[in-house]
Amino acid sequence: MKILILNSIMFTPDGGVIPKVDSLKDTMMYNMCLGFRQSGHEVTLCAAEEYRPVKEEEYPFGIRFFRSAFTRLFPPTALPCSPELKRFLKRNAAGYDVIISSELFSFPSLYAALIAPEKTVIWQELSVHPAKFHRLPSRFWYNFLARPLMRRPLVVARSEAARDFVSQYHKNTSDKIVDHGINADRFVTCSEKTDSLAVVAQLIRRKNVDRIIAAFAQFVRHPAGCNYVLKIFGRGPLEQELKQQVRKAGIEDRVTFFGFTPHSEMVEHLSRAKASLIATSRDLNVVSIPEAIVCGTPVLTNTVPNSARTVAQHNLGIVKDNWGLDELLEITGNNARYVANCVAYAPQLTSLHAAETLVNEFLSRQHH
């Protein structure tokens, strides 16, 4: 099949600013496109021009970038609007078998729903109304644009929370959940663990890496945790502040800051860690959760991420708000059981599995 993927926002902007990146090859949607290719499909990805990488890259599938317009009204960090993309769809939609678009609340999804509704699948990530402007733009969109103008395409959610949310506004929502797919070729599943714990996060306030460090400082003072090290992968404005916290706690020999690390290097450490630690206060979708599970590494998280439900349901780690020493002792002390669950569940989180499930769900609806 010829598949067109509409995903304007390729990675999360930082504080309303789109960072310049050298590559898109670590993004979730890039790796999903590889899953579609692996499944035998011809893929073209459409993204906003603002997310084009600084360096020229070669891709094993087509990528097109479209300029955003009316950027004061519709900032590319939140709601890119591209009449150029709409014109492209009008001219070319007939040449594709299926169009997969991210989010009901997005201009590309609106264009696809108006131009080719019968071949459009909307892959829904949001599970709440975005808070901007008291949630009014989102409420308006779902009630007065999505209900009358976007009712025909199939919606498939990426989490149970997203399905429960979007089905309030869109009757043609599948019961099937298709989470972000992880490129299994880049993340090696490993059952052999070392006495290490990992954090994969931007070093920004909402990630609460300071709380993780404080809990780890308690853990290494406990006899069961005295040999452990903490590896932190990510960069951000709080790096010096967090390093100062580590120095004050007297655990400099136990904590390493790796900075921004390509997946190819990070996976060696993540796959050997006994747990991946998460304490975010706002992120609904944390891609490091499925990445860890595909590595066979259990997750210790609070209830904030949508995929925390999956972690809890399948015993892929521990889900608890304000987790601390007790949870660190449990996940390291009974590590083999959690690791075995992750290894067994990992195939369901690959980009190949996600791509095949999305296509099969679309085809099953076409036959009804």
pLDDT in tens, 258-294: 998 988 899 999 999 999 999 999 887 788 999 999 9
DSSP 179: P
pLDDT of residue 175: 95
Whole-number Å distance between alpha carbons of 261 and 349: 22
Task: With H, G, I as helix, E, B as strand and everything else as coil, classify residue 98.
Answer: strand
pLDDT the model gives residue 259: 95
pLDDT (0 to 100) of residue 347:
92
* pLDDT at residue number 287: 86
Residue length, the chain? 368
Which amino acid belongs to residue 329? L
pLDDT classification of 36: cutoffs 50, 70, 90 = very high
Q: Answer yes or no: is pLDDT of 301 > 60.
A: yes
CA geometry: angle 95, 99, 105, nearest 5 deg = 140
pLDDT attached to residue 16: 81
pLDDT in tens, 64-117: 999 999 999 999 999 999 999 999 999 999 999 999 999 999 999 999 999 999
Residue 366 pLDDT > 80? no
Alpha-carbon gap, residue 30 to 276, rounded angstroms? 23
Encoding tokens for residue 15? 């504080």
Strands of the sheet with 299-301, listed across from one edge: 255-259, 229-233, 196-200, 275-277, 299-301, 317-319
Return the percentage of the chain with pLDDT > 70, whole number: 99
- Give pLDDT tens digits for 157-198: 998 989 999 999 999 999 999 988 888 888 889 999 999 999
Model confidence band, residue 367 (pLDDT cutoffs 50, 70, 90): low
With cut-offs at 50, 70 and 90, classify the pLDDT of residue 48: very high
Report the pLDDT value the prediction gives residue 184, as an integer from 0 to 100: 83
Question: Could you tell me where the beta strands, DSSP code E, fall in the chain?
Answer: 2-6, 42-48, 62-66, 98-102, 120-124, 154-157, 173-177, 196-200, 229-233, 255-259, 275-277, 299-301, 317-319
DSSP strand pairing (42-48 vs 62-66): parallel
pTM of this structure: 0.84
* Mean predicted confidence (pLDDT) in 14-30: 89
Which residue do the tokens 């369901």 mark? 348
CB-based contact 232:258 (threshold 8 Å): yes
Give the mean pLDDT of 28-57. Answer: 96
Q: Would you say 295 and 316 are in contact if contact means Cβ atoms under 8 Å apart?
A: no
- What is the per-residue pLDDT for 344? 96
- Average pLDDT over all residues of the chain: 95
Q: What is the pLDDT of residue 178?
A: 94
Tens of pLDDT, residue by residue over 140-161, are: 999 999 999 999 999 999 989 8
pLDDT of 368 over the 60 cut? no
| Radius of gyration from C-alpha coordinates of the chain | 21
82-93 confidence digits (pLDDT tens): 999 999 999 999
102 phi and psi, to 5 degrees?
Answer: -80, 125
